[in-house]
Structure 1
């Protein structure tokens, strides 16, 4: 058994003159007593138990050792006593957590320093594949991060998702630690398994100071991830105009093509970012004039007024670049209604009528607002041809099909998979007392053929 010497021991010997509290000891269970003494911050009892042969590596309920508890509390004296009397530096619990990782979690610089000095492994990874350096980066403890690198921590170690230390510091918005890591020579472009770089993540979070720091340290402007997104694409997609301006001013390519027929300018228009559109246009961004009919909507609507009610099932194809749409479907009256038809100036017939209508038309959406949640707000207008087929109960000879035009306009709001629109429609079926203007409310489902993936970064430890 190794024992401590020097001033620390002298202090212990002086303390032994005072009564030693052992009231909590369990007879014959010195291993348990050792852990309990560490928890009670009782160094005299710890020394006594070590001298009596208590196992410094005994595991308490929950899987932690006395050294782990001492590291958690930040008690450097007890950490030294345990290590110098045989406690394992790299003993780990069920989650593969070591005393060094615990010291880092709890920001105990002096404990971490002593453990590293005595040979603790700076690159040990727990069950989440996190290391001491990654956790120091996550909690913004730049002093411990610097210490770990001094004691040989790998500058390219990564977690299970490929996140290295700079990426971790950037994701958690830790400017100071990012700066220290970069000063130590870590790669500003260290990418994760999806090929996202730290600058991409700073851009998607709208973090201007970190974006500026990364650019100062040479971060690449034109690296692309697996979705073919550059840092500028992230800034435009997540609608951070300040970051977009910084990247454009730094020389980012404003004509980067995301996919065939879709440019950065098209993305900015889809996202409803007028500022980004102006920035891109002033920097020379171009767009393809070819429309992109990649949105499909299936709607269920109601067109009604006091004495008329038609239900609508409509399918539409929408151009996501310019807002044009083509729409077709079936309208029908859900109930039999009494109608009056003027036969001539002297004769009016009344019938119990059902009616089916085939509709085909088109129009344009005018988006005027996109919020941060992805909701789009706008107005629409359209012109439709309507071919209606009435059927009169008790009449063997049905009315001939009737053709009419309908005007439609209103407001809409839509998000990822659904939307709603409400407005007015003007059309008639040639019956008396019908009224031309109707109110229209439609719910619709959206299917995007070429949806731009939301690649928002997540790191969880």
Structure 2
């Protein structure tokens, strides 16, 4: 590190003032590609930033592979430094190689004061990064209710889609942020929006077992039986993941227990394969057909036998699962399994 970079890194004002009187280039980059201004902004040294600016350092930033001073200050929540840089001529919406702006970065890292400074200074609220995500997407993903409200209050688009087709509601639902989901829906977010795979926020929330979010989405009209491109419903994802409470909630709200995907998998087959006994019991009680087969001819009973799950095997047989479909090997495995279980 050069003396100028050391002084800026540690916020040594007197040393910076002294170095300004020398012939050292205050715009020179170190081995990391950082200038003294970038180090000072990154570490929040407002006084050093002001000294450097007053000394004529360049505020333009042309390296897309390194964070700009304003982006670095925003990332670390130094709103006073952000404000100073903007007042001195820094470009508010300067973007890096990922097209992240200072606003999207501040929103992502939860710095409310920096977000407010940037918006007041004219930052584009709906600018999109290289993946099509807006600042509202980032704030929703991180569950920051206050920043979500600030962005919405300043014109953030509720249903702006990323390259995956995800709106801010998707990002909040996937992470289980109930409060943010509520804010977004109250402000007009569509609960049944679909992404590129025809999946909905409910589909992802069910898959991840986000019970509170599932409940809220259903209460706001999300379809319990929406199907993605592979014909998979929220119930199927919940059963596969072993999320008992979510399965119960979906069934109570009209989800079809025997939905079949493109590979002939049903919620019961997934639950049996995963050994989720309570879910299997619940599905049976709600009328699931026991002997449906996947595309390889496997029934729930065969999957339970393969897993050596005696409790589940007995439950399926007692509820009417057909033993006649078993081949000789499966019959032998069933016999041994039940014999061992009884012993």
Q: Please give the TM-score of this superposition, normalised by the length of structure 1.
A: 0.57
Provide the aligned length of Structure 1 versus Structure 2: 306
1:241 counterpart = 2:208: no
Offset, 1:378: 4.2
Q: 1:85 to 1:323 in 2, by over 3 A?
A: farther
Contact 2:33 2:66 in 1 (8 A): no
Instruction: Report matched runs for 1:60-459 at 5 Å.
Output: 60-93=30-63, 95-259=65-229, 263-286=233-256, 294=264, 322=289, 324=291, 364-365=300-301, 378-379=312-313, 381=317, 382-383=323-324, 406=331, 409=334, 423-424=337-338
RMSD: 3.7
CA distance in structure 2 between the aligned counterparts of 1:168 and 1:362, rounded to whole angstroms? 42
Contact 1:384 1:406 in 2 (8 A): no
Q: 1:367 to 1:118 in 2, by over 3 A?
A: farther
Contact 1:362 1:384 in 2 (8 A): no
Q: Secondary structure at the match of 1:365?
A: helix
Offset, 1:227: 1.1
Contact 1:258 1:264 in 2 (8 A): no
Per-residue Cα deviation, 1:392-442 (whole angstroms, up to 9, x for no partner)? xxxxxxxxxxxxx947648xxxxxxxxxxx824xxxxxxxxxxxx689xxx
Return 5+ residue gaps in structure 2 as ranges: 270-287, 305-310, 318-322
Contact 1:96 1:125 in 2 (8 A): no
Between 237-246 and 130-139, the greater mean CA deviation after superposition: 237-246
Q: 1:378 to 1:142 in 2, by over 3 A?
A: farther
Q: 1:53 to 1:197 in 2, by over 3 A?
A: same
Offset, 1:157: 1.7
Offset, 1:86: 1.3
CA distance in structure 1 between the aligned counterparts of 2:326 and 2:220, rounded to whole angstroms? 52
Q: Over alpha carbons, which structure has the higher Rg?
A: 1
Contact 1:89 1:119 in 2 (8 A): yes
CA distance in structure 1 between the aligned counterparts of 2:78 and 2:226, rounded to whole angstroms? 47
CA distance in structure 2 between the aligned counterparts of 1:175 and 1:289, rounded to whole angstroms? 36
Higher strand share: 1
Offset, 1:245: 1.4
Q: Secondary structure at the match of 1:57?
A: coil
2:274 aligns to what? none
2:272 aligns to what? none
Higher helix share: 2
Q: Secondary structure at the match of 2:84?
A: helix
Contact 2:139 2:147 in 1 (8 A): yes
Q: 1:221 to 1:40 in 2, by over 3 A?
A: closer
CA distance in structure 1 between the aligned counterparts of 2:10 and 2:36, rounded to whole angstroms? 11
1:47 aligns to what? 17
Offset, 1:137: 1.1
Q: 1:66 to 1:222 in 2, by over 3 A?
A: same
CA distance in structure 1 between the aligned counterparts of 2:79 and 2:259, rounded to whole angstroms? 60
Per-residue Cα deviation, 1:287-318 (whole angstroms, up to 9, x for no partner)? 667797635x9xxxxxxxxxxxxxxxxxxxxx
CA distance in structure 2 between the aligned counterparts of 1:143 and 1:53, rounded to whole angstroms? 37
